[in-house]
Structure 1
Amino acid sequence: MPELPEVRTVANFLNKNLVNKIILKTECFFEKMVWRNELKDFIKKTENQKILKVSNYGKYLMFELASQIMISHLRMEGKWSITSKEVNIYNKNHLRLQFELSDGEYLKYYDSRKFGTIEIWNKDEYLEKSKMDKLGPEPLNNQPPFEYLKAKAEKSNMLIKAFILDQSILCGIGNIYANEILFSAKINPERSTKSLTDKELKLIIKYSNEILQKAIDMKGTSIHSYKSGDGEIGQFQNELNVHLRKDDECFICGSKIIKKQVAGRGTYICLKCQK
């Protein structure tokens, strides 16, 4: 599933190429992807709207239209592209939604697994209606504050791996970056969140910021099928210290990386570094 760096990369690409274009026509080929809206209402609210900005919050893409906010969640395999009507840079059979734009190009959404969702709300209600008001802060730009994370940790009975994956606590971290952050902080993912010291909580903030920002700079991590809006792959997979490195030697101590299920997710650990 695309995490914050991948979604930020897609948002940057779309923002660069969509601002001030008008959606002339909306066509949906998989009605169930339209989430919390009736399809007819979704089409009515998107057509003849100018795209003012594309951004993201955590794993959510946000299209600011003239009078609405359209929210896209890519889930496992969602991909956006901008091409002519005839061109498909992804599998045409996976095309689920397309918008005809005022310059003759088409904004297209592909999803092989059909898990992705899209919804549209008025600007004054989108946070509540989309449930985005329940999300925690993005761990970027020196966020979250230490006091915030400590207060959350003191009340939590979760394992630390589950804690930093909880989108209501930290928004945008998925399995790949959780593995990398905990390795860099030298924290075993099976430890109780309540057992963390102030120093360890500060290290989680530090490495969350550093790792996510570096991944954004490198346009994300391409492991399975992730590509940005122009079909470009990311490069952060070349920087991974533990994720997908089962039985490989740890770059720090030379011990073998192990893999186990923690909080229901495949978790890569160096037991010597992450005690």
Structure 2
Amino acid sequence: MPELPEVRTVAVFLNKRIVNTTILKAECFFEKMIWRNEVKDFYKSVLNQKILKVSNYGKYLMFELSNQIIISHLRMEGKWSISKKEIDIYNANHLRLQFELSNGEYLKYYDSRKFGTIEIWDKKNYKQKSGMDKLGPEPLNSQPSFEYLKEKAIKSNSLIKAFILDQSVLCGIGNIYANEILFAAGINPERITKTLTDEELKKIIMFSNAILEKAISLKGTSIHSYKSGDGETGQFQHELKVHLRKDEKCFVCGTKILKKQVAGRGTYFCAKCQH
């Protein structure tokens, strides 16, 4: 958490607010978060660069500058906001990085757990240098193709829950949406991936697209602390069918929703509906 819909929501918000502004100054208050870069070099790299675009790929938020790309991985608790210097939308004690912008506002990064990372690379080779070239396709816009997913699946002895959480297979799905996708597809999370039928693989593609697109339209799922860049909560939590519903009745069959650890993650499912 945040997963693809939440990071996409943040990217859309920031893209509307900071495109074409210039970074006048950068201040980092937790240097370990500047990953694979020296802090002094990071400061030099961003100084006087214009922000051309904010986007995301899967769980990664990307700031396209004049010459480089900043990649932000929010991990568990990372949050970006726009405000005046003296205003903190989130807890000021959790402020880890801020950019002074040419429009008089400040782009601020908060992270209570300090797990998030920030890195900067040249545009020409950032995918290879950052490892983003190893990521699989985002499950949106009818992606991935059935042929792609089947080729990956028939070679996999992993549990299907672990398979769809693997970012080198599908980029952007985390625990919440994995639980929801497998329920919608009627697939038990402990199935061995290579045992899935063609029809079941097609259902994973279809429901991955449908669920992520709906979550994006509702600005993500606010569980625990996620909020968008302006402090707004998402609304997809009201659409959850199994996640966090342990011992509640399944909306389809009335059986109690179970919870167990699968692939190291808290997994919610209906034993009757998911085979």
TM-score category (smaller protein) = over 0.9
Superposition pairs for residues 62-211 of structure 1, below 5 Å? 62-211=62-211
Match of 1:264 in 2: 264
TM-score, with length taken from structure 1: 1.00
Match of 2:218 in 1: 218
| RMSD between superposed Cα atoms in Å | 0.4
SS of alignment partner, residue 124 of structure 2 = coil
Match of 2:35 in 1: 35
Return 5+ residue gaps in structure 2 as ranges.
none
The residue type equivalent to 1:49 in the other structure is Q
SS of alignment partner, residue 63 of structure 1 = strand
Q: Which consecutive segments of 4 or more residues in structure 1 shift more than 3 A?
A: none
Instruction: State the Cα distance separating 1:250 from its structure 2 match.
Output: 0.3
The residue type equivalent to 1:29 in the other structure is F
TM-score, with length taken from structure 2: 1.00
Superposition pairs for residues 15-34 of structure 1, below 5 Å? 15-34=15-34
Deviation track 1:119-178 (CA, whole Å, cap 9, x = no partner) reads 000000100111000000000000000000000001111000000000000000000000
Deviation track 1:15-59 (CA, whole Å, cap 9, x = no partner) reads 000100000000000000000111111110011000000000000
Return 5+ residue gaps in structure 1 as ranges.
none
Instruction: State the Cα distance separating 1:14 from its structure 2 match.
Output: 0.4
Match of 1:255 in 2: 255
SS of alignment partner, residue 88 of structure 1 = coil
User: 1 CA distance for matches of 2:91 and 2:242?
Assistant: 32
User: 2 CA distance for matches of 1:269 and 1:9?
Assistant: 27
User: 2 CA distance for matches of 1:232 and 1:38?
Assistant: 33
User: 2 CA distance for matches of 1:173 and 1:31?
Assistant: 29
User: 2 CA distance for matches of 1:82 and 1:217?
Assistant: 22
SS of alignment partner, residue 203 of structure 1 = helix
Does residue 55 (structure 1) correspond to residue 76 (structure 2)? The answer is no
User: 1 CA distance for matches of 2:181 and 2:269?
Assistant: 11
User: 1 CA distance for matches of 2:95 and 2:173?
Assistant: 27
User: 2 CA distance for matches of 1:234 and 1:42?
Assistant: 32
Deviation track 1:238-259 (CA, whole Å, cap 9, x = no partner) reads 0000000000000000000010
Instruction: State the Cα distance separating 1:93 from its structure 2 match.
Output: 0.4
SS of alignment partner, residue 230 of structure 1 = coil
User: 2 CA distance for matches of 1:247 and 1:38?
Assistant: 49
Task: State the aligned residue count.
Answer: 275
User: 1 CA distance for matches of 2:269 and 2:61?
Assistant: 31
User: 1 CA distance for matches of 2:100 and 2:18?
Assistant: 12
The residue type equivalent to 1:113 in the other structure is R
SS of alignment partner, residue 124 of structure 1 = helix
SS of alignment partner, residue 35 of structure 2 = coil
SS of alignment partner, residue 161 of structure 1 = helix
SS of alignment partner, residue 125 of structure 1 = helix
Deviation track 1:198-252 (CA, whole Å, cap 9, x = no partner) reads 0000000000000000000000000110000000000000000000000000000
The residue type equivalent to 1:250 in the other structure is C
Instruction: State the Cα distance separating 1:6 from its structure 2 match.
Output: 0.1
User: 1 CA distance for matches of 2:220 and 2:158?
Assistant: 28
